[in-house]
Amino acid sequence: MLAAMPSTAVWVDMTGSSPAAVRELATAARAHGVGVLDAPVGGDAAVLDRCRRVLEALADPQRIIRVGGNDAGYTAKLLVNLLWFGQAVATGEALLLARRAGIDLDVLRQTLATSAASTAFVRDDLGALLDGDYLMSFGLDRCCEELTAIADLARELRVPSQLTQVVEQTYQRALRRFGPVDGELLAVALLEEEAGLRLRHGPA
């Protein structure tokens, strides 16, 4: 595809993959004079400026932030997803403990949302989970791919990553249990199954 693209073209990659993959892509693209951005956004500042109006049609302009050169966008996206998946697992465990202890989950949700433990997951996504919705808009296998990519990067860069590995392993266990189906929160469904409890609105 790069060979067929004009030198004025820009490849804007909004997927999630290994940072090494976009480095290889960017090197090949430069050989053809093609610009590359990996969103949310990594790449040359001049290439980003050329594409800013297109990106602003897709996202809030205040959220279009250049985080660095090629591969920084991939890395930032993987880090965001790692923290979100990690919040899902940690919140799932906390709520199962609360359920077992007899705490009303709606009361706890309200408490968490206004506490130091509040997160975007608690504020925006926990309600769906308590409705029995495991967010079926993204594949469990894709979740695992992204977690493996960031865990591999942590090992490559030799930084502590024990919690990352726990989150990755929990999602891998969910993948083995449920298969490559849609459901970003199926790792929580696995924890529910293992605890013999369901996280739903109200008291147990």
Tens of pLDDT, residue by residue over 124-137, are 999 999 999 999 99
- Specify the amino acid at residue 65: I
* C-alpha 141, offset from chain centre: 13
- Specify the amino acid at residue 29: A
Burial class (CB in 10 A: 0-12, 13-18, 19+), 1: exposed
Closest to 9 (Cα-Cα) out of 44, 41, 35: 35
pLDDT at res. 123:
95
Q: Is 67 left (phi over 0), alpha (psi -120 to 50) or beta?
A: alpha
As a whole number, mean pLDDT of residues 178-195 equals 98
The pLDDT confidence band at residue 20, using thresholds 50, 70 and 90, is confident
Q: In the chain, which residues fall in CATH 1.10.1040.10?
A: 73-195
Res. 21: pLDDT tops 90: no
Res. 16: pLDDT tops 80: no
Contacts of 16 (CB under 8 A, 6+ apart): 74, 77, 78, 81, 142, 145, 146, 149
Does domain 73-195 bear CATH number 1.10.10.10?
A: no
Identify the weakest region by mean pLDDT among 20-29, 99-108, 115-124, 182-191: 20-29
As a whole number, mean pLDDT of residues 10-37 equals 87
As a whole number, mean pLDDT of residues 139-159 equals 95
pLDDT at res. 7:
87
**Ordered alpha helix ranges (H), 101-185:** 105-113, 120, 126-130, 140-157, 162-178
Specify the pTM: 0.90
The token duo for 171 is 């999602």
pLDDT tens digit sequence for 70-94: 889 999 999 999 999 999 999 999 9
The pLDDT confidence band at residue 18, using thresholds 50, 70 and 90, is confident
pLDDT at res. 93:
98
